[in-house]
Amino acid sequence: MPPKKYRLKPASANASSSLDMESEDISLETTVRTTDDVSSSDEQRGGSEKVTRQFIERKELLHTIQLLKIDLSQKNLLLDNMKADYMSKVEELEERLNDALHLKQVLALRLDSQLKVAQEDNRKQQSLHKREMEAVLARQQQLEEMNHRLCQSAGEVRTSFRDLDLSQDKYQELRNLPDDKISVQEYVAMRFYEAVTPLRSQVAQLSVKTDSLTEELDTNRTQMRGLMDSYEEERRIRTDLELRCQRLTLELA
């Protein structure tokens, strides 16, 4: 809003008015003096000095009043100018205040809108996290139940596989049955029998062979000890013969 303009009365007009008043006072004084001259010339001569002094004092007083009026007019003009500047600044500050209040309202509305959007997003995120957590907990519970069932199944399998030994007659009996009539334990027992029976035969053969080799080793050890004893005896006899031969050689020499 543009500042209001105040029309001020110029100081020259005030000065002219003051000068007119001074002229009227001087004319009045002159008129008074003329009347006094007509009425009595003696009084004029006797009081001429007094009238002159009063006239000078009055003139000085009027001049001082005129100067004061001019100074007052200038101060009034200065006050009017200051008042106009003050009013202009007040209006400018009011406009700035209104703009600031409007901006504050706009920012408050924008902040409120953003806050609502953020709260809605936060609510959606919390709801999503809650659903994800519930899904994770449900999946964890399913896995725990599955693990429990698997542990039970493993225990049952271990229990059922404790005794897998079959006799040859039982193996022949199970072998003649169709696969859909055989349980898992019986099927595993058959495969275990088929895998272990040849190994058992080999173990039996190796055991017999080991016993034979052990007996042969014992015989060889006995023979070795006899040979060692014979060798020691022959070495002792040979040593004795060498000594006797050396003695005979010395005697013959």
Is 233 among the domain residues? yes
Instruction: With beta carbons less than 8 A apart as the criterion, state whether 77 and 12 touch.
Output: no
> pLDDT-based confidence at 14, cuts 50/70/90?
very low
What is the distance between the alpha carbons of residues 253 and 241, in angstroms, rounded to a whole number? 18
Is 40 among the domain residues? no
Is 104 among the domain residues? no
Among 14-23, 59-68, 155-164, the minimum mean pLDDT is found in 14-23
Q: Which domain holds residue 222?
A: 163-252
Each residue's pLDDT tens digit, 150-183: 777 666 666 655 666 777 787 788 778 887 777 7
Number of domains in the chain: 1
Each residue's pLDDT tens digit, 88-97: 999 999 999 9
Of 164, 162, 142, 144, the closest CA to residue 152 belongs to 144
Is 110 among the domain residues? no
Is 235 among the domain residues? yes
Is 245 among the domain residues? yes
Is 46 among the domain residues? no
Over range 217-233, report the average pLDDT. 87
What's the pTM value of the predicted model, to 2 decimals? 0.31
Is 226 among the domain residues? yes
